[in-house]
Amino acid sequence: MKFKGVGKMGILEETKGLVENSIQELGLPKAVFEHLKEPQRLMIVNIPVRLDSGEVKSFIGYRAQHCNVLGPFKGGIRFHPQVTIDEVKALSMWMSLKCAVVEVPYGGGKGGVVCNPKEMSEDEIERLSRGYIRSMLKIIGPEQDIPAPDVYTNPQIMAWMADEYSSAKGHNEWGIVTGKPLIVGGSLGRLEATSRGCYFVVEDAIEKLGLSMQGLKVAIQGFGNVGSYAAKLLADAGAKVIAVSDSGGGIYHEDGLPVDKLMEHKVKEGTVSSYPQGKRISNEELLILECDVLVPAALENQLTSNNAPNVKAKIIVEAANGPTTAEADSILTDKGILICPDILANAGGVVVSYFEWVQDLESFYWSEEQVNSRLQLKMADAFRRVYDFCQRQEVPMRKAAYMLAVKRLGEGMLTRGWVKK
Ligand SMILES: NC(=O)C1=CN([C@@H]2O[C@H](COP(=O)(O)OP(=O)(O)OC[C@H]3O[C@@H](n4cnc5c(N)ncnc54)[C@H](OP(=O)(O)O)[C@@H]3O)[C@@H](O)[C@H]2O)C=CC1
Ligand SMILES: O=C(O)CCC(=O)C(=O)O
């Protein structure tokens, strides 16, 4: 039987399918699925925010706390107009799996607010961020649930959130969120951590296929926190970043794009698509470019049954969460493309969030070199375990990663007595 990826039934149902399938194949008690199929807790809040106009507008916020068998809930908060309950639930389940794959002592959580930060002032975003934390006060905490950045949230938002929580508690609690600015308990290396983790995965994956970083042709969808630093790290190491994109479209140059200049252009103009050198392309065109490595680093469901038959990359490194639908996963696997799945490929963010949290709890801060070298060890170890499993069991990398993660979650449940043999 083919192991399915996320897709047609919707990302949540597809992820549950993958988890259930893994439980069966591992011979774990069925009760493990009863613990994993839904979040342990789902909080839905209404957050009234005073707009600059003086009008009050309310926003719906979610926090899904998926499973804390291996540690406190952990995961980002997304501010996006298309956030849904099912998306937040799926993202929280991926966090449980991701933390298990890289063996950090966390459970999975994820938050979201239905809003469009691009249409809000900085002050309005601050009031919304503080309102979110006030609404979640009873269920979050450094030992309970530790949020972090995700799509359209950033270190400044994390600082407001940490400040709001600290004010409510009456003392500073830097360990309440990660991805903070350095001055309020952030960690060196966290800003680039997800991208650096992806970079290490690219290094390991190309080695398996006998490719070299020098001149490696890379296409990257999404030029936010993850996509832009992934582009920079790869270009600095000698790869040729031939295309990048954002929500405004993409830009392509067969000889490689100047990533530092693109980053400056993005800050000034708000999009990479208007960069004056190269050819403008759509996000759809980017995904099917002739390249060695494709890095989806934007949103879910980008690689679908429509475009997968035309994908020409040799390797896909899923920097985004859930970029590949079930049907696409199957088509791409049949084409022999090496897919490094999201729960492995983008785990660098949560690994360095873990380091940040440890530093906050100890009030003792590490050098950037320490952070990056520990991240490299974690990512290399996880890649090796997933790749070895995939070779031994003759299964795709996604299945290998899911099985290793579910095995660890199941072992945690058996050991704690949540389920019996
Ligand atoms: N930040 C982190 O530490 C982690 C993030 N991730 C995942 O990585 C992905 C990207 O997150 P992150 O970089 O933090 O988010 P950002 O908000 O920093 O960036 C998101 C990027 O995606 C682009 N984008 C949005 N919609 C589209 C679209 N329809 N087509 C193409 N590009 C689009 C945005 O474009 P524009 O700039 O024009 O708005 C932006 O460049 C998400 O899937 C996230 O869950 C995973 C692990 C950790
Ligand atoms: O850094 C974290 O805690 C979580 C990052 C995140 O949201 C993710 O990995 O999807």
| For ligand 2, atom 1: residue with the closest CA | 350
pLDDT at 181: 98
Q: How confident is the model at residue 7 (pLDDT cuts 50, 70, 90)?
A: very low
* Arithmetic mean of pLDDT, 162-190: 98
Instruction: Tell me the β-bridge partners of 47.
Output: 59
Q: 323-340, pLDDT tens digit by residue? A: 999 899 999 999 999 999
Q: 334-373, pLDDT tens digit by residue? A: 999 999 999 999 999 999 999 999 999 999 999 999 999 9
State the DSSP H helix or E strand holding residue 148, giving kind and residue range, or none if neither.
Answer: strand 145-149
pLDDT at 326: 87
Mean pLDDT for the chain overall: 97
DSSP state of 44: E
Q: From the options 3.40.50.1970, 1.10.10.410, 3.40.50.10860, 3.40.109.10, give the CATH code of 38-173.
A: 3.40.50.10860
Q: 299-329, pLDDT tens digit by residue? A: 999 999 999 999 999 999 999 999 999 899 9
Q: 252-287, pLDDT tens digit by residue? A: 999 999 999 999 999 999 999 999 999 999 999 999
Tell me, yes or no, if the pTM score tops 0.95. Answer: yes
- Rounded to the nearest angstrom, the distance between the alpha carbon of 145 and the centre of ligand 1 is 23
- Looking at the chain, which residues constitute the CATH 3.40.50.10860 domain(s)? 38-173
Q: What ipTM describes this predicted complex?
A: 0.99
Q: 182-202, pLDDT tens digit by residue? A: 999 999 999 999 999 999 999
- Rounded to the nearest angstrom, the distance between the alpha carbon of 97 and the centre of ligand 2 is 12
| For ligand 2, atom 7: residue with the closest CA | 76
> Annotated binding residues for NAD(+), as ranges?
194, 225
Testing ligand 2's pocket by substitution, the residue of 161, 192, 194 carrying the most ligand atoms inside 8 A of its CB is 194
* Arithmetic mean of pLDDT, 206-211: 98
Among 345, 309, 321, 333, which residue's Cα sits nearest to residue 394? 333
Q: Is 153 in the pocket of ligand 2 (CB under 6 A)?
A: no
Q: Is 248 in the pocket of ligand 1 (CB under 6 A)?
A: yes
Catalytic residues: 110
* Arithmetic mean of pLDDT, 393-410: 98
- Looking at the chain, which residues constitute the CATH 3.40.50.720 domain(s)? 193-345
Determine the topology of domain 193-345 in CATH.
Rossmann fold (3.40.50)
Question: What is d(CA 308, CA 349) in angstroms, rounded to the nearest whole number?
Answer: 27
- Rounded to the nearest angstrom, the distance between the alpha carbon of 245 and the centre of ligand 1 is 11
pLDDT at 8: 52
Contact call for residues 259 and 220 (beta carbons, < 8 A): no
